[in-house]
Amino acid sequence: MHNATPIENQTSPLKITLCFSIKDKVGALEDCLNAIKASQVSLTRIESRPSRTNDWDYDFFVDFNADDSEKVSAVVESLRSHTKNVTIIGSDASTDNSVPWFPRKLTDLDSFAEKVLEMGEELSSDHPGAHDPVYRARRAEITRIAKTYRTGQGVPEIDYTNEENETWGKVFRKLTAMYPTHACREHQYVFPLLVQNCGYNDQGIPQLDQISRFLKDCTGFTLRPVMGLLSSRDFLNAFAFRVFYSTQYIRHGSKPYYTPEPDVCHELLGHVPLFADPDFADFSQEIGLASLGASDEDISKLATIFWFTVEFGLCRQEGEIRAFGAGLLSSFGELEYSLSDKPELRPFEPAKTAIQKYPITEFQPVYFVAESFKDAQEKVRDFAASMNRPFSVRYNALTQTVEVLDSKEKVVRFAKSIKDDMKTLTTVLESLT
């Protein structure tokens, strides 16, 4: 699980994005840049876009690093006489009108490439492969490959060894024998498609690139290789763009049915099948959108909701309880345990789920049961509306960007796009009658 980790302390310079609008007049941008320069900060990026307002303005996005919140405030004050609608997106929420920095477009995820809490090659002393130099070197090799990936590239292929493929085969056979009686119907429905289209079998580990293309065709989700453990915020933020950070290394062959951290078996057998389901994809993205600009406290709550749903969730289907969480669907021991009479089952209610304590090194004593993925999505959306965040966001699939809905003009523009979609829907319905 990548996101069930404490929020790390910020020790590096604050990464700041300022968003503001200016009139189309001679010297307007130059005035703004001179104001920023006078504050003695260096810009790392500047972009312009047509304004989302009804006026003939331009929206500008500038990135810079600041030593502290006072420096950020100074830059904002220097801009206010030249701009309007200044929004601060930074990593220090103590600054007036600011929220934690979050990615606005897909390529912003590249900034997370080397921002990991633990490298995939770093193993705890009790890890089965901790004292195996060959295994450690192999993990380091795969981690270095993940480091080179950037948005828009194909996911690098891994030439898995015979031993790695044998370990995968053991896990694959053990778990697939349990899916017909334990997995939710959506997981069972998609799995044969992965066999047909992505090379899922017990002979070798499938490649992420082929799987990612398949998911893209199904729901728009894609896989991105990761070097190691990410913070909760970075991991969840990617879901807003329908991106899942996936490991490519596999557990140690001496214990094929046990792993203390996510590996390629967990990702491909547990997570991937449901990312091809439209309702589950929508639900997962809802958590990601809620995480953008959220406070540390709310990130912790969303991470807990993610833990009890995407990782260890149960659902009710045709009068029976089935598993949909990847942590269950990739662990035959806990998969069996979760559907027994031993754990406590509670209905999924985000406000209560978000504050439930949980162990990470043993089976869960409590599981939450969702009525459906759509129902869970609506509940998470309602929960997000109660969070302390001064704006709402929407994902624009055409531009693969996140739009901040923080003004009347932007909301009106969004409403007009919905109105156009409703006209199309009405036309289709009339043609079917």
Q: Which residues of 343-368 are buried (b: 16+ CB within 10 A; e: fewer)?
A: beeeebebeebbeeeeeeeebbeebb
Helix residue ranges per DSSP H, 149-295: 162-176, 179-182, 185-198, 208-218, 232-239, 264-265, 272-275, 278-291
Q: Is 330 labeled as catalytic in the residue annotation?
A: yes
Catalytic residue among 78, 330, 338, 392: 330
Catalytic residue among 121, 261, 266, 392: 266
Contacts of 34 (CB under 8 A, 6+ apart): none
What end-to-end distance do the CA atoms of the chain give, in Å? Answer: 48
Asked if 195 and 201 touch (Cβ cutoff 8 Å), the reply is: yes
Q: Residue 11 in 3-state DSSP?
A: coil
The Cα 347–Cα 156 span in angstroms is 41
DSSP characters over 66-107: ESSHHHHHHHHHHHTTT-EEEEEE-S-TTSTTEE-----BGG
Long-range pairs, 202-205, Cβ under 8 A, ≥24: 202/168, 202/169, 202/172, 202/173, 202/176, 203/165, 203/169, 204/160, 204/165, 204/168, 204/169, 205/158, 205/160, 205/164, 205/165, 205/168, 205/250, 205/264, 205/268
Q: For residue 362, how far is the Cα from the chain centroid?
A: 25
Q: For residue 204, how far is the Cα from the chain centroid?
A: 27
Q: In degrees rounded to 5, what are phi and psi of residue 42? A: -105, 125
Q: Is 271 labeled as catalytic in the residue annotation?
A: yes
Q: Which two structure tokens, joined as six digits, stand for 228?
A: 């190691």
Nearest Cα residue to 331 out of 275, 211, 251: 251
Q: Is 311 labeled as catalytic in the residue annotation?
A: yes
- Give the side-chain half-sphere CA count within 13 A for 330: 28
Asked if 252 and 128 touch (Cβ cutoff 8 Å), the reply is: yes
Q: Is 284 labeled as catalytic in the residue annotation?
A: no
Catalytic residue among 121, 164, 267, 311: 311
The Cα 292–Cα 103 span in angstroms is 8
Catalytic residue among 2, 182, 252, 271: 271
Contacts of 164 (CB under 8 A, 6+ apart): 205, 250, 253
The Cα 325–Cα 270 span in angstroms is 7
| Residues carrying an active site annotation | 266, 271, 311, 330
